[in-house]
Amino acid sequence: MAISESFDVIVIGGGPGGYICAIRAAQLGMKVACVEKRATLGGTCLNVGCIPSKALLQSSEEFFHATHALADHGVLVDGVKLDLARMQARKEEVVSANVKGVEFLFKKNKVVWVKGTARISAPGQVDVDGTSYTAKHIVIATGSESVPLPGVAVDERKIISSTGGLELAAVPKHLLVIGGGYIGLELGSVWRRLGAEVTVVEFLERIVPAMDGEVARHFQRALTKQGIKFRLGTKVTAARGGDDGVTLILEPAKGGVAEEMRADIVLVAIGRRPYTQGLGLAEVGVALDTRGCVQTDAHYATNIPGIHALGDAIAGPMLAHKAGEEGVALAEILAGQAGHVNYGVIPGVVYTAPEMASIGQTEEELKESGVAYNVGKFPFTANGRARAMGAMEGFVKILADAKTDKILGAHIIGPDAGTLIAELATAMEFGASAEDVARICHAHPTLNEAVKEAALAVADRALHI
């Protein structure tokens, strides 16, 4: 195959890992191409992940407020109706504006978007649908895909993945969500707010397994109050879809008597796995780990010189901002700089209401590693702004080293938790102590005062409780 063009860097995948790596590499003076097989840039995140799910979460929350919360504020609205077609159209508009934004950024930074499916034919060589390109560096940023569940075949009609869960044209009467992770709970929340009966079936005895246990228990109670039903310690072993819905077989996770359950729609959200299909990795000899992640060293280099990988395709939390940070770090490393990601300070957020946000170590992890710690907690019921907003569910929890007072972890459930956690991420990046945060003057009345109070509570000196 004749070589069509040569680049310093060819990034395979235009998601937040790939496109950010491409932009940063171009900013640093490299000649960069990004290959994307989708019709639009932005990857899972912008097309079928973070952005469309947040658009629907926002819209469904507006609907829920109009039907359930506004009267308490003295705002009376009669005849609230759901226009799901418009809600979905708005979601598409949001996605479209975002993906076009990435296209604009590529033009601005002179990143060449090669449209098509890439295959690494040799170190330094990438074939895209019959055209060959060479590069000093190849970056695998091909992301992830939903994990299939044996016995439950996704048809994107009655048995759907998260992608189908973002596109329903009617509110299901009963939505059964398999998997109590953040994707299942966010989509479950969307359809619950719009009127569906929602049951979450989870194999483990708890939801959101990576999050702090105390916060997760509070979270489950909050979602239960909203009418979401939970079947923990339960596995789905089979599902049969027909025109009138789906019949599922449920069994206790530990084994026991099976039962049948009916649902109109079943959402399979049991996790995601790296996607490297068709890339030619086996032929080139790129090593994968047992979970299918591309193996990399601390500099995102694979075992084959000149081939690098990042984002959901490698180990670590499958989060857009983790992928993006790796994109920047790798581009800087390729430019001879000291790119670095601090994996101890990567926030994780569940965008339900209340929101849930977490950073650093959980209480369970600290106990397991035998680290002595102090806990400071502050509830939103004692925060003036949360009361004014009518959003008092939840609390801020800070875990600090018992000897040094250094913040080791922070966990928030409550209004705008995803934004509030950024203050603690900043503090942790600077190696701050709980006292450092407690001594910062926080504006009144703000939700962030709950963060300050939790920091004060680490030393048993909270003022407003």
Show Cβ contacts of residue 182 under 8 Å, excluding neighbours closer than 6 positions. Answer: 208, 348, 350
Would you say 395 and 406 are in contact if contact means Cβ atoms under 8 Å apart? no
Strands 125-128 and 118-122, by their bridges, are antiparallel
> Binding-site residue total for ligand FAD (CB under 6 A)?
37
Residue 45 sits in the site that holds ligand FAD (CB under 6 A): yes
Choose between 181 and 414: whose C-beta lies nearer to ligand FAD. Answer: 181
Residue 71 beta carbon to ligand FAD: minimum distance, rounded to whole angstroms: 31
Question: What mask, x for binding ligand FAD by CB under 6 A, covers residues 236 to 275?
Answer: ---------------------------------------x
Would you say 249 and 178 are in contact if contact means Cβ atoms under 8 Å apart? no
Question: What mask, x for binding ligand FAD by CB under 6 A, covers residues 183 to 222?
Answer: x---------------------------------------
Choose between 183 and 424: whose C-beta lies nearer to ligand FAD. Answer: 183
Residue 75 beta carbon to ligand FAD: minimum distance, rounded to whole angstroms: 29
Q: Give the CA distances from residue 213 to residues 135, 186, 376, 397, 406, in Å, rounded to whole numbers and listed in that order.
A: 46, 18, 15, 12, 21
Q: Which candidate in 68, 73, 444, 464 is catalytic?
A: 444
Residue 43 beta carbon to ligand FAD: minimum distance, rounded to whole angstroms: 2
| Burial (CB count within 10 angstroms: exposed 0-12, middle 13-18, buried 19+), residue 72 | exposed
Q: Which of residues 85-144 bind ligand FAD (CB under 6 A)?
A: 117-118, 141-144
Choose the binding region for ligand FAD from 33-41, 245-253, 260-268, 295-303 (rule: CB under 6 A): 33-41
CA-CA-CA-CA torsion for 373, 375, 376, 380, nearest 10 degrees? 150
* Given 7, 25, 44, 194, the residue binding ligand FAD (CB under 6 A): 44
* Given 207, 263, 279, 462, the residue binding ligand FAD (CB under 6 A): 279
Q: Which of residues 11-30 bind ligand FAD (CB under 6 A)?
A: 12-18
Would you say 360 and 408 are in contact if contact means Cβ atoms under 8 Å apart? yes
Q: Which of residues 321-350 bind ligand FAD (CB under 6 A)?
A: 321, 323
Alpha-carbon dihedral sign for residues 428, 432, 434, 440: negative
* Given 7, 10, 32, 36, the residue binding ligand FAD (CB under 6 A): 36
Alpha-carbon dihedral sign for residues 433, 360, 331, 301: positive
Q: Which of residues 142-171 bind ligand FAD (CB under 6 A)?
A: 142-144, 162
* Given 23, 43, 230, 246, the residue binding ligand FAD (CB under 6 A): 43
Annotated catalytic, 444?
A: yes
Choose between 118 and 457: whose C-beta lies nearer to ligand FAD. Answer: 118
Tokens at 7, concatenated: 């680049």
Choose between 263 and 313: whose C-beta lies nearer to ligand FAD. Answer: 313
Residue 438 sits in the site that holds ligand FAD (CB under 6 A): no
Residue 452 beta carbon to ligand FAD: minimum distance, rounded to whole angstroms: 26
Choose between 55 and 228: whose C-beta lies nearer to ligand FAD. Answer: 55
Residue numbers at the binding site for ligand FAD (CB under 6 A): 12-18, 35-38, 43-45, 49-50, 53, 117-118, 141-144, 162, 183, 275, 278-279, 311-313, 318-321, 323, 351
List active site positions.
Answer: 444
